[in-house]
């Protein structure tokens, strides 16, 4: 047995808030439409989503994740470490430290509801504005 889900990610106090919903397949357009109806605590709206496929055999008691996507970001801007350093803003000190310490070459800044700044990896996707909320 195999079932697909979309996990919506929204800004949270310490970690991202998540809402997971079943979806027929890994359909980006369907997930974007579903994201519009997701609201977390304090009115937070999703900054992105990822797909997850869970599977189980008949003898298994519970399912397990057998596939997952990168994060599809609903808008935002990608910034490199060099770009952030070049703006020479003292408020970026912690961000620069964290990027260096964790080996992050790029971050994404999203302001769909509350500002979130996260690493942007090679498996992540920044959706075109036509897909953004």
User: What is the pLDDT, as a whole number, of residue 56?
Assistant: 85
Give residue 77's region: left, alpha or beta (phi > 0; psi -120 to 50). Answer: beta
Q: Has residue 132 got a pLDDT over 70?
A: no
> Per-domain residue ranges for the chain?
2-73, 77-121
Taking alpha carbons only, the member of 32, 27, 41 closest to residue 8 is: 32
Please give the helix or strand (H or E) that residue 98 lies within, else none: helix 93-102
Distances (CA, A) of 8 to 59, 61, 66, 76, 88: 30, 26, 18, 16, 34
User: What is the pLDDT, as a whole number, of residue 78?
Assistant: 97
Q: Which residue has the higher pLDDT, 13 or 68?
A: 68
Q: Mention every residue, 6+ apart, whose C-beta is less than 8 A from residue 113.
A: 10, 11, 43, 44, 45, 47
pTM: 0.90
User: What is the pLDDT, as a whole number, of residue 133?
Assistant: 53
Summarised one tens digit per residue, pLDDT across range 39-48 is 999 999 999 9
Q: Kindly state the tokens that stand for 70.
A: 């990168």
> What is the gyration radius of the CA atoms in the chain, in angstroms?
17
User: What is the pLDDT, as a whole number, of residue 127?
Assistant: 95
Q: Are 4 and 23 in contact (CB under 8 A)?
A: yes
């Amino acid at each position: 047995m195999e079932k697909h889900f979309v996990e919506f990610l929204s800004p949270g106090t310490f970690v991202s808030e998540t809402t997971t919903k079943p979806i027929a397949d890994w359909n980006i357009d369907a997930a974007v439409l579903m994201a519009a109806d997701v609201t977390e605590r304090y009115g937070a709206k999703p900054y992105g989503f990822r797909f997850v496929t869970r599977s189980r055999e008949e003898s298994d008691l519970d399912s397990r994740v057998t596939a997952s996507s990168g994060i599809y970001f609903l808008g935002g801007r990608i910034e490199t470490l060099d770009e952030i350093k070049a703006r020479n803003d003292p408020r970026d000190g912690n961000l620069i430290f964290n990027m260096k310490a964790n080996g992050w070459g790029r971050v994404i800044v999203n302001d769909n509801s509350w500002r979130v700044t996260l690493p942007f990896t090679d498996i992540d996707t920044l959706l075109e504005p036509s897909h953004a909320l």
